Amino acid sequence: MSAADTPRPVGRPRDPQVDRAVMEATFAMLAEAGYDGLTIEAVAHTAGVSKNAIYRRWPDKVAMVLDAIRTMAPHDDLEVDTGDVRADMATMLRGMVAKFREVDGRLAFSLASDLQRHPELGDAVRSGLIEPRRRELQDRVQRAVDDGQLPADADVELLTDVGPALLFHRFMFDGVVPDDDFVDRVIRQFWG
């Protein structure tokens, strides 16, 4: 089929500025008001778009929220593989700490209980955001075992979870953004 034979899309092309305005409004409202305080109507009003514009792009609130988190809080910069697992983990954990100091920190607080109260949101966030990142980190830890940087009998699943879990616990339950000293302690204890 040639380019001339390809059917043209019906209607106007989507405006990327609308997408961006909706994502920014959703992310800000989610961080400030939580999932319960976020409505399609409020996002539409804040973004300066119609509800129809939102529903043409996202089938429901969960899909819009998931896309906003993916778009506005990317964590690709936390993926590191220099060949030195200890240095990589320190870089990744310091990157998490930096994110806690930004709007991501408020979002983490807001989402922690929302994920439990709204199973559809919890399932979407776990499968669409948390699990892919956990698998990437688990692959990194497994490569360190395979390369002999970690013992052959290392508990890859536990090592994958321990650093982020300790940072999250300190942040959520102690109300303290972990500092570099805390990260260094985690690295020495589990990766040293």
Question: What is this structure's pTM?
Answer: 0.77
Percent of the chain residues past pLDDT 90, beyond the cut: 62
Distance between CA atoms of residues 163 and 93, nearest Å: 7
Give the model's pLDDT for residue 32: 87
Q: Where are the domains of the chain?
A: 13-72, 76-191
Topology adopted by domain 76-191:
Tetracycline Repressor; domain 2 (1.10.357)
Percent of the chain residues past pLDDT 70, beyond the cut: 90
Give the model's pLDDT for residue 13: 66
In terms of Cβ atoms closer than 10 Å to its own Cβ (0-12, 13-18, 19+), residue 93 is: buried
> How many CB atoms are closer than 10 A to CB 75?
16
Residue 177 has pLDDT above 60, yes or no: yes
Topology adopted by domain 13-72:
Arc Repressor Mutant, subunit A (1.10.10)
Tens digits of per-residue pLDDT, 71-118? 887 665 556 788 899 999 999 999 889 888 887 777 887 788 888 899
Give the closest residue to 36 by CA, choosing from 117, 157, 108, 141.
117
Q: In which element (H, E) is residue 97 found?
A: helix 85-101
Residue 7 has pLDDT above 80, yes or no: no
Give the model's pLDDT for residue 167: 94
Distance between CA atoms of residues 63 and 67, nearest Å: 6
- Where does the pLDDT of residue 12 fall: very low under 50, low under 70, confident under 90, or very high at 90 and above? low
Give the model's pLDDT for residue 118: 93
